[in-house]
Structure 1
Amino acid sequence: MTDPDFNLLIALDALLTEASVAGAARRLNLSTSAMSRTLSRLREVTGDPLLVRAGRNMVLTPYAQSSRERARNAVLDARTVLQPSTSELNIAQLERVFTLRVNDGFIEAFGPQLIAAVAAMAPEVCLRFSPKPEKSSHFLREGLVDLEIGVLSNMGPEIRVQALYRDRFVGVVRHGHPLAGKAQVSVEEYIAWGHVVATRRGQPSGPVDEALAEMGLARKIVSMVPGFPSALAVAKASDLIALIPASFLSQTENSARLQAFDLPFKTRTITISQLWHPRMEADPAHRWLRQTVMAVCQKQCPDYHAGISG
């Protein structure tokens, strides 16, 4: 019996992930015609159409849908087998692109230091920061990203999690604001001013609003922006109060023109974690990346790392 062409697995993975001949071609740096010929071969081998036309788009057949995760795992397992062991891994000669799914706040606060640390140890490694408009385990499960960094949510029981640091929210106003420089801001003063809120999903409620609601109070939200950098920019040029993680504010140049103050009520602690799929657990290069991210966070946030383990 003739062994199948295992190179077809890579093409199958790309086609099932992209659900598009053109998209798979771009993913593998092939021409569309070459990928079309490969799809024809895959149809012959599997005995299934795999991709069928639905209007202007292509959709996966039931067989292709059920095989997508197996194809992805097969490709990743094969790459793991062919990678050197931990003792043989030469970080200085490692050539790889790592994709990290993070929000803008993490990039601004930790991106430069992380890039510099990686470049110093592995000059041929490229860090690709992918936007994170919503929380989803899809990107880790499909192997589209190597790491996801943020506040832990329901990502599935198989996803690996390592806490990086704990954080807390602080209020931020511009220098010259009536609340700037006050030793202690009261709840009444806090809700007397308008607020700018950073929210990816356009939903203003959060831990602060929950704490205020328990006291029968509410703040006036004047503006919603997509991230913490935007919230700081608005606060810097207005009388609005921004709500920012303390560690983020301490790592940005914006703090020179802004004044932070402790909230006049308690909110739950924020734990920032890095998450990855178990298929990458033993990969030596991925383990090195996780260790590097942890080291950078510990160095940048020594005051916010106490009590973190794992």
Structure 2
Amino acid sequence: MLPANLNLLRTLAVLLEEQHVTRAAERLCLTQSAVSRQLLQLRQALADPLLVRDGNRLLPTPRALALQAQLRPLLQQCDALFSPQQFDPQQWQGHVRMASSDYAAHYILPDIVSTLAGAAPQLQLTYQLWLPQQLSQLADLPLELVATMLEAIPPGLEGLALGEDGPVCVMRQDHPLAQQQRLTVDDLLACEHLSLSGGGDKDSFVDLALAELGQPRRIRLHVPFFTSALRIISRSELLLIIPEHIARNMQADYAITYRPFDLPCPTHRYWLLWHPKYHDDVSHTWLRKVVFQCFEASLYSMASKSTAHRIGHDS
């Protein structure tokens, strides 16, 4: 039967090296009586005298000598087990998975990949589209990081506030409404709309506000992807309600413009989320800092851009 206290094995290793209780006690920073008690416990646990007195010496038994050969690697493994976790991004050969929208895949993921290629060249990364219904399953999903739009961090998760903005109405550059500085409710009702069905809820507030006025919005098309939505918008009369930072950034690639409109608008809040099981892992800490910086750079309208901080909830 092995001793329950692994410190006894360290005491045994030192006793076998010193073959003297007093010198062993000095090395272990223990009293001589404490070392003698531990030796007694070892003898009882291993059913062997281990060290037999011969004058002023303690001579090891055959069992003790056999144990001595095994103790050094065992104690080295124990020391390594409890030593601080070491991490070098250049040597990291892990595989991480993150999820967000197709917008993030198109406009932010290339920056993440470029940064990781230089800082952690052996790291494997899998990116997938985020489905809001996966939020309650995050503890069991193989996902290390999620970037999404929510009111607040759900209880039981950890996160960083990426920033916030509000919704705007997007249209093609030569749309008849592009001449106006701001759209009225009548303008919204006069046109047909495209609604984005993927990712977080971006435009249901419009339908709720118009429903209170008894004038439903005419939604002609639902699509799950930003890229397809913007291609359609740039070639049609349809309107699209999306977050302002996305509309602003996508102007570089699509013939679109955007305007504010006369409805009460929510604040869109963006988060980088992860499960608490990853929170203290040094590689994850490094990774989320890299990913955070890339997402933050894309969100131009951050009120707290220079003071973003960790926000967490107890499980």
TM-score (norm 2): 0.65
Deviation at 1:162, TM superposition (A): 2.0
Q: Can you give the 5+ residue segments of structure 2 that lack an aligned partner in the other structure?
A: 3-79, 311-315
> What are the within-5 Å matches in structure 2 for residues 141-156 of structure 1?
141-152=139-150
Which of 164, 167, 191 aligns to 1:166? It is 164
Which of 102, 106, 109 aligns to 2:107? It is 109
Deviation at 1:281, TM superposition (A): 0.7
> What are the within-5 Å matches in structure 2 for residues 1-310 of structure 1?
85=84, 88-137=86-135, 139-152=137-150, 157-200=155-198, 206-252=204-250, 255-306=253-304, 308-310=308-310
Change (3 A) 1:131 1:260: same
Q: Distance in 1 between matches of 2:133 and 2:182?
A: 35
SS at structure 2 position matched to 1:179: helix
Change (3 A) 1:180 1:144: same
Q: Distance in 2 between matches of 1:83 and 1:116?
A: 34
Q: Deviations over 1:45-101 (max 9, x none)?
A: xxxxxxxxxxxxxxxxxxxxxxxxxxxxxxxxxxxx969846x31112211221012
Q: Which residue of 1 aligns with 2:34?
A: none
Change (3 A) 1:123 1:181: farther
Deviation at 1:305, TM superposition (A): 4.7
Q: Can you give the 5+ residue segments of structure 1 that lack an aligned partner in the other structure?
A: 3-80
Q: Distance in 1 between matches of 2:207 and 2:238?
A: 16
Q: Deviations over 1:194-216 (max 9, x none)?
A: 00000139x99612222323444
Change (3 A) 1:172 1:114: same
Which amino acid in 1 is paired with 2:233? A
Q: Percent identity?
A: 24
Q: Is the contact between residue 189 and residue 217 of structure 2 (CA under 8 Å) also seen in structure 1?
A: yes
Deviation at 1:169, TM superposition (A): 1.4
Q: Distance in 2 between matches of 1:174 and 1:288?
A: 40
TM-score (norm 1): 0.66
Q: Distance in 2 between matches of 1:82 and 1:127?
A: 27
Which amino acid in 2 is paired with 1:102? S
Q: Is the contact between residue 96 and residue 124 of structure 1 (CA under 8 Å) also seen in structure 2?
A: yes
Which amino acid in 2 is paired with 1:148? V
Moved more, 191-200 or 110-119: 110-119
Q: Distance in 1 between matches of 2:191 and 2:254?
A: 22
Q: Deviations over 1:255-281 (max 9, x none)?
A: 541111112222111111111111101
Q: Distance in 2 between matches of 1:82 and 1:143?
A: 27
Q: Deviations over 1:133-173 (max 9, x none)?
A: 34223552114111122123798622212221212211111
Q: Is the contact between residue 203 and residue 241 of structure 2 (CA under 8 Å) also seen in structure 1?
A: no
Q: Is the contact between residue 97 and residue 125 of structure 2 (CA under 8 Å) also seen in structure 1?
A: yes
Q: Is the contact between residue 195 and residue 242 of structure 1 (CA under 8 Å) also seen in structure 2?
A: yes
Change (3 A) 1:296 1:96: same
Q: Is the contact between residue 202 and residue 243 of structure 2 (CA under 8 Å) also seen in structure 1?
A: no
Q: Is the contact between residue 152 and residue 269 of structure 2 (CA under 8 Å) also seen in structure 1?
A: no
Change (3 A) 1:205 1:265: closer
Change (3 A) 1:118 1:281: same
Change (3 A) 1:266 1:154: closer
SS at structure 2 position matched to 1:263: coil
Change (3 A) 1:234 1:254: farther
Change (3 A) 1:143 1:173: closer
Change (3 A) 1:129 1:284: same
Q: Distance in 2 between matches of 1:208 and 1:178?
A: 21
Change (3 A) 1:236 1:83: farther
Which structure has the larger Rg over C-alpha atoms?
A: 2
Which amino acid in 2 is paired with 1:270? H
CA RMSD, Structure 1 to Structure 2 (Å): 2.9
Q: Distance in 2 between matches of 1:84 and 1:210?
A: 56
